[in-house]
């Protein structure tokens, strides 16, 4: 686990890093089976962990929003994605959101800093286009406007 925490390895093999960080569940399982003293402490810790994962899952489902608008800005080098803000949301300056583009990958979520004012009705994030590959359309039913 420590080896995959090295930054350059983590960036190259993120899925390995992510999977290995859940290997603590095996540690908990074997510690649970090995000693009765661990069962109470491990049970409390797993309850807190499970509750945290459950509330994140429920909040994620409740905050799902389709992409409203996608546009190229700054001469086509930045992709601006606009999403309607949930009614209960009150973001602060500098906060970030995790976005998933199912047309690219159903399981990968990436953090993006909000580029919009907390007073606006939409979240806006700016995504810098890197590399020489054409930028994929995160919402394939709507064509991207040409820069």
**pLDDT over threshold 80, residue 78:** yes
Do 71 and 58 belong to one domain? no
Do 82 and 110 belong to one domain? yes
Dist CA 139 CA 102 (whole Å): 8
Do 71 and 119 belong to one domain? yes
Do 78 and 124 belong to one domain? yes
Query: Is residue 34 assigned to a domain?
Result: yes
Do 77 and 116 belong to one domain? yes
Selection from 143, 131, 138 nearest residue 112 by Cα: 138
Query: Is residue 31 assigned to a domain?
Result: yes
Do 120 and 94 belong to one domain? yes
The string of pLDDT tens digits covering residues 60-76 is: 777 777 788 888 888 87
For the chain, what percent of residues have pLDDT higher than 90?
A: 10
Q: Domain tally for the chain?
A: 2
pTM listed for this prediction = 0.57
The string of pLDDT tens digits covering residues 22-59 is: 888 888 889 989 988 898 999 999 999 999 989 988 88
Please provide the DSSP assignment of 28-55 as one string: HHHHHHH-HHHHHHHHHHHHHHHHHHHH
């Amino acid at each position: 686990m420590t080896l995959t925490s090295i930054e350059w390895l983590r960036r190259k093999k993120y899925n390995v890093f992510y999977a290995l960080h859940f290997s603590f569940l095996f540690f908990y399982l074997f510690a649970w089976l090995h000693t009765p003293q661990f069962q109470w402490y491990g049970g409390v810790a797993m309850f807190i962990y499970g509750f945290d994962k459950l509330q994140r899952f429920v909040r994620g489902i409740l905050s799902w929003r389709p992409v409203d608008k996608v546009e190229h800005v700054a001469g086509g080098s930045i992709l601006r994605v606009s999403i309607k803000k949930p009614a209960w949301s009150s973001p602060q300056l500098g906060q970030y959101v995790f976005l998933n583009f199912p047309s690219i990958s159903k399981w990968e979520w990436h953090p993006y800093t909000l580029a919009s004012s907390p007073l606006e009705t939409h979240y806006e994030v700016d995504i810098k286009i890197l590399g020489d590959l054409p930028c994929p359309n995160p919402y394939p039913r709507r064509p991207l406007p040409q820069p």
